[in-house]
Amino acid sequence: MNYTLPEHRYFKRDLSWLSFNNRVLQEAQDESLSISERIHFLAIYTSNLEEFYRVRVATHKAALEGKREEEELTNQGELIELLRNIQKEVARQLVVRQQIMEQHILPTLRKNQVYFYQSISEVPKQYNNFITHFFIQEVFPYLQPVIANKHWVHSFLRTDRLYLAVRVYRTEDIDKTDPHYYVIKLPYDKVKRFIELPQDNNTHSIVYLEDLIRANLHVIFPDFRIDSSYSIKTTRDADIMINATDSKQVVEQLKKGVSKRKIGDISRFVYDADMPIDFLKHLMDTYDIKERDLVPNEAHLYLEDLAKLPLPEYLSKNKVTHKPLFLIEKGKSIIDEIANRDLLLEYPYHSFDHFIQFLHEASEDPDTKSIMMTQYRVAQHSLVISELIAAAQRGKRVTVFVELKARFDEEHNMTTAQLMERAGIHIVYSLPKLKVHAKIALVLRNSPSKPSIGYISTGNFNEKTALTYADTALFTAHSRIVADLRHLFALLGSTRLANADRAQLLGNSTASHRDIKEVMKKVHFEHLLVAPLNLKVTLSALIEKEIQAAEHGEKAHIILKMNALQDKMMIDQLYKASLAGVKIELIVRGICCLIPGQTYSRNIEITRIVGRYLEHSRIWYFYAGGEEKMYIGSADWMKRNLYKRIEAIAPIYDSQLKEELYQMLQLQLKDTEKGTLISSNLIDIRKKNVQTQGKDAQNAFYDYLKGEMK
């Protein structure tokens, strides 16, 4: 079919992301959830928005000022329009967030005898003595008012800190002609943000720390008359630019970048919308805040702290809890089980203890020669790291490729890398030009009767996030997949092999297709799909096969589950497949730049799942003429994943495991509780008209896995 695709055929990436975050906000309105879960979604929404401004908006503003290159937008006019649209949509969402708090959350808390006071004036007078005493004893010693006047003193607002901006007048200034301005940093590293008042008649009362300070400003400024005070907060550019040519320079530049992150350029100045304009202008002048950085908000800012709201136990429990399932009975060897059959772990439904057990067994196995693993984000006090250190101490050769450039985890990754190095683990640091995002591990064994074992996952080696992120991981002793993993670790520099190939390709993110082909001739991945080597070309071939089948009147079907779909070339291929008649079902949690509901996308449907767990798996299904190919791995279909990261995708060969994944996809496509359809105007539409009403897919999949184990 000859069809020319229109020029404007993609959603803007940032507006699509805001659509996703709006869907998170909707969960806070869902009365089927416990009140603690709804409050938690409000906190997640706010935390997401904070990172969005620290990275995406900050990048756009830096590009506007010529401080950074902008990859996606071609001119300043387009960039200004995008920033304007972002501000408009964020302002709309913040109004909704405030309505949810006032009309849904607070009334529900009151019905349950929890009084979360939004102003000190609401607090009954019987608590006055407690508030005064608590302030004097627990808060006042940590307060340090700083003059906000650039002509008197140079003060600075740190990112991720909440301040009270205070306007006062000297007692003798009756006509209020000489205002004085101060900022006070809230000491929430010393005092909790939410102060619990003494219980009275089985009621639970909470006030904000900043409101308690407001009520006692006269103690802080004894020689002044208090005029007004308002919460303010800055968000600063958190992106770190790396222009290194070797791993040593990466470490050095990251250390400098992390130290400067707290003082980066302002990307957002959030303030209480009730602040008078003259007060606001004074702060703008003092801290060099531009008008485009202004984000008016409600009286209480930094609501990601709501995740720490102290609720009574009877309200803090979730309505539905899933006890992690165990694939292998306790006492049995997981390594022996994998040697006999491939295993799929579905976190958080399955316990992450299986992976810890795997490392422990490998560490104690006398036939284990070496253990290799990538590190992107690991937990604080990680059991994974502990097991790797134990293995090294037992004389095993342990190699860990540490990706230092994992945003906001740079310091933690550097610390854990140093800890492992001191314990005798061989550490390979970040590549200069590419980010290693693959989640892979490999245990090599000496005995011919005991196969080596590989692990490929969609999620990190992190036992904490494995409780809340929905991920999929494959354990396999398939000899060819294990061989591919060995080649990949060789390319990463985990062995002395293929150093020339590594330098040729992995040291240069702008390698040409000819360079890639030359490396592919030397390092051939027969089963794994590896970016930026054979991943994109294989995906293109798989889509093309479905197109050819559709054009011949044969069944053609693609199901793609991922976090984000942004790469324009891949989107165009999906448009082409849709025009050819291929049935395409997408499950995309976050960014999705493909526009559904158009002539060129009429056979494409996009589902979004936002539920109790963060959907994080990447699972791809192609009908492939009845062969039904299935893949799992670490890559989304974004430009950065396909061209600028090392990603690893594994095929699923076991028919039973294929069926398991297919059932998961079907449950998610039929989800009418947490599943929505993304419309052509970026609105999430509830699935109310589907013929088969499916329940919450996450609950249903847990039940499915539980049933399979009986």
pTM for the complete prediction? 0.91
The CA-based dihedral angle spanning residues 577, 580, 582, 583, taken in that order and rounded to the nearest 10 degrees:
100
pLDDT at 239 over 70: no
pLDDT band at residue 381 using 50, 70 and 90 as cut-offs: confident
Closest C-alpha to 152, from 32, 60, 285, 251: 285
Q: What is the DSSP letter of 543?
A: H
Whole-angstrom CA distances from 583 to 405, 565, 575, 588 are: 38, 17, 11, 16
Domains 334-523 and 535-708 belong to one CATH topology: yes
pLDDT band at residue 654 using 50, 70 and 90 as cut-offs: very high
Task: Report the C-alpha gap between 40 and 27 in whole angstroms.
Answer: 9
Q: Determine the pLDDT at residue 129.
A: 95
Task: Tally Cβ neighbours within 10 Å of residue 477.
Answer: 21
Closest C-alpha to 29, from 592, 686, 688, 691: 686
Mean pLDDT along residues 664-689: 91
Task: Report the C-alpha gap between 275 and 186 in whole angstroms.
Answer: 18
Task: Report the C-alpha gap between 497 and 396 in whole angstroms.
Answer: 19
Pairing verdict, β 645-651 and 529-531: antiparallel
Show the CA angle centred on residue 65, arms to residues 60 and 68, nearest 5°.
60
Cα-only R_g, the chain: 28
Pairing verdict, β 614-615 and 684-686: unpaired
Contact criterion met (CB below 8 Å) for 442 and 371 = yes
Under CATH, to which class is 535-708 assigned? alpha beta
Closest C-alpha to 674, from 664, 661, 692, 687: 687
Q: Determine the pLDDT at residue 517.
A: 47
Summarised one tens digit per residue, pLDDT across range 114-126 is 999 999 999 999 9
Summarised one tens digit per residue, pLDDT across range 664-676 is 999 999 999 999 9
Sole residue written with tokens 């849709």: 578
Share above pLDDT 70 across residues of the chain, in percent, rounded to a whole number: 88
pLDDT band at residue 113 using 50, 70 and 90 as cut-offs: very high
pLDDT at 242 over 60: no
Mean pLDDT along residues 405-431: 81
Q: Determine the pLDDT at residue 319.
A: 67
Task: Report the C-alpha gap between 577 and 556 in whole angstroms.
Answer: 9
Helix (H) or strand (E) holding 456: strand 453-457
**Beta bridge partners of residue 116, listed in sequence order:** 206
Q: Catalytic annotation on 524?
A: no
Q: Determine the pLDDT at residue 276.
A: 96
For the structural domain made of 334-523, what CATH number should be given?
Answer: 3.30.870.10
Query: Which residue type sits at 697?
Result: A
Mean pLDDT along residues 219-226: 94
Break the chain into its structural domains and give their ranges: 13-316, 334-523, 535-708
Closest C-alpha to 308, from 318, 297, 316: 316
Summarised one tens digit per residue, pLDDT across range 424-440 is 999 888 777 788 999 99
Task: Report the C-alpha gap between 86 and 64 in whole angstroms.
Answer: 15
Whole-angstrom CA distances from 347 to 323, 351, 467, 641, 682 are: 11, 7, 7, 22, 29
Contact criterion met (CB below 8 Å) for 454 and 316 = no
Q: Determine the pLDDT at residue 458.
A: 98
Locate 652 and state its tokens.
């699923």
Task: Report the C-alpha gap between 294 and 289 in whole angstroms.
Answer: 8
Helix (H) or strand (E) holding 63: helix 58-64
Task: Report the C-alpha gap between 585 and 665 in whole angstroms.
Answer: 10
Task: Report the C-alpha gap between 420 and 424 in whole angstroms.
Answer: 7
Quote the strand ranges of 250-356, DSSP E: 266-272, 294-297, 343-347
Q: Determine the pLDDT at residue 496.
A: 38
- Of the candidates 282, 360, 437, 616, the residue annotated as catalytic is 437
For 111-117, the CB contacts below 8 A with 24+ separation are 112/35, 112/314, 112/315, 113/202, 113/203, 113/204, 114/203, 114/204, 114/205, 114/206, 114/311, 114/312, 114/315, 115/203, 115/204, 115/205, 115/206, 116/206, 116/309, 117/205, 117/206, 117/207, 117/208, 117/211
Task: Report the C-alpha gap between 667 and 652 in whole angstroms.
Answer: 19
pLDDT at 601 over 60: yes
Domain 13-316 has CATH 3.30.1840.10: yes
Closest C-alpha to 161, from 58, 50, 258: 50
Closest C-alpha to 347, from 675, 613, 41: 613
Q: Determine the pLDDT at residue 505.
A: 47
Task: Report the C-alpha gap between 72 and 74 in whole angstroms.
Answer: 7
Contact criterion met (CB below 8 Å) for 343 and 337 = yes
Share above pLDDT 90 across residues of the chain, in percent, rounded to a whole number: 70
Task: Tally Cβ neighbours within 10 Å of residue 567.
Answer: 21
User: Is the peptide bond between 348 and the residue preceding it cis, with omega within 30 degrees of 0?
Assistant: yes
pLDDT band at residue 302 using 50, 70 and 90 as cut-offs: confident
pLDDT at 144 over 60: yes
The half-sphere exposure of 694 on its side-chain side, counting CA atoms within 13 A, is 23
Report the residue count for the chain: 710
Higher pLDDT, 276 or 1: 276
Higher pLDDT, 491 or 205: 205
Mean pLDDT along residues 565-575: 97
- What's the mean per-residue pLDDT of the chain? 89
pLDDT at 506 over 60: no
CA 333 to chain centre: 34
